[in-house]
Structure 1
Amino acid sequence: MNAQNLKRQSINPPSTQVFYDNFHFSQATRVGDMIWVSGQVGIDANMTPANGIEEQAHLAFQALKEVLKSAGASLVDVVELMTFHTEVQGDMPAFAKVKDHYFPDRYPSWTAVGISQLALPELRVEIRAVAVAGCGDA
C-alpha cells in the first residue's frame, strides 16, 4: 500500500456539519480502507432525542448508515460495534432486536457497555463502529 492510500480523511456528511463546527470532531475518520465511526445517537433532524430505546436505536443505526455511505462503505463492511447503554439490562432485548434488523447475518463483533449517562439526559444508547470498506462484498 502506498502512502497516498494512508492519508487520513475526515468524514462529515452535510447533515452532521453542526457537530464538526460546534464540538470539533468528525463523524468518521478513514485511513486506507479502515473507517472509525464516532458514536451515533437517536436524535432527529431537530436534534431532539427520539422516544424509547427502539426508536433511538433505529435513528442511531440510520445515522451510522449515512456516515458509512459518506465514507464509501456500508453496514455490511462493519467489523466491530461498541454500544453504550444507560439502561443496559432493561433495554438489551429491544436493542438487540433492532440491531438484528440492521445486521441480519454476518454479525460484527459487539461490545455493549452500561454507563450512567450520555451527552443528553434523554439519550439511552450510543453506537460506535469500525468498518473496512469493501470487506462485506467478499
Structure 2
Amino acid sequence: MSGRKAIVPAGMETVYEKIHYAPAVKVGNTVYVSGQIGRDANMKLVEDREAQIVQAFENLKAVLEASGAALADVVDVTTFHTDMRDLPLFMEVRDRYLNTHPLPAWTAVGAHMLGGAAGYIVEIKAVAVLAD
C-alpha cells in the first residue's frame, strides 16, 4: 500500500523504535490511531482511574495532532476496558474530549489485561478522517 506514513509524536518514539508499532498510520486523509493507554511521557502508568482515562485521551489527542487531525475528526472509536463498571466514569471523561456532532461511532469491549501489564484500565483506538 503506497502513501502510508507512520505518525510518531514527540515523546512516543520508544513505542516505534523499541516496541515496534506506530502510534498511528496516515493513509490519504484517514488516520488509524493505535490503542492509547494511560501512560505518561515517561512511559509510566497513571494510577488514579480518572487521571488514567484522561491521560489516554491526551495521548490520543497528541497522536491526532501530530497527524494534522483533531479530536473533532474522529469517526470511529473502539475502547477496551478491564472493568466494564468503569463505563460511567469513562463516558464522563470521553464526553469532555469527543463532543463534536455528529458523534463518532463507538464500540466498548471488555478485556482481561491492557498494555502488556497490570494496572491499565482503558485503551482507546480511533479512526479519524480529515476534510478534503
| TM-score of the alignment, normalized to the shorter chain, above 0.5 | yes
> Which letter does structure 1 place at the counterpart of 2:39?
I
Q: Are 1:73 and 1:134, in contact at CA under 8 Å, matched by a contact in 2?
A: no
Question: How big is the shift at 1:51?
Answer: 1.9
2:23 aligned partner: 27
Q: 1:63 aligns to what SS in structure 2?
A: helix
Q: Give, in whole Å, the separation in 1 of the partners of 2:42 and 2:64.
A: 21
Q: How many residues align?
A: 130
1:128 aligned partner: 125
Q: 1:113 aligns to what SS in structure 2?
A: strand
Alignment of 1:44-123 (within 5 A): 44-88=40-84, 90-106=85-101, 107-118=103-114, 119-123=116-120
Q: Give, in whole Å, the separation in 1 of the partners of 2:87 and 2:106.
A: 13
Q: 1:59 aligns to what SS in structure 2?
A: helix
Q: Give, in whole Å, the separation in 2 of the partners of 1:51 and 1:109.
A: 28
TM-score, scaled relative to structure 2: 0.93
Q: Which is higher, the Rg of structure 1 or of structure 2?
A: 1
TM-score, scaled relative to structure 1: 0.89
RMSD between aligned residues: 1.5
Percent pairwise identity: 43
What are structure 1's unaligned runs of at least 5 residues? 1-5
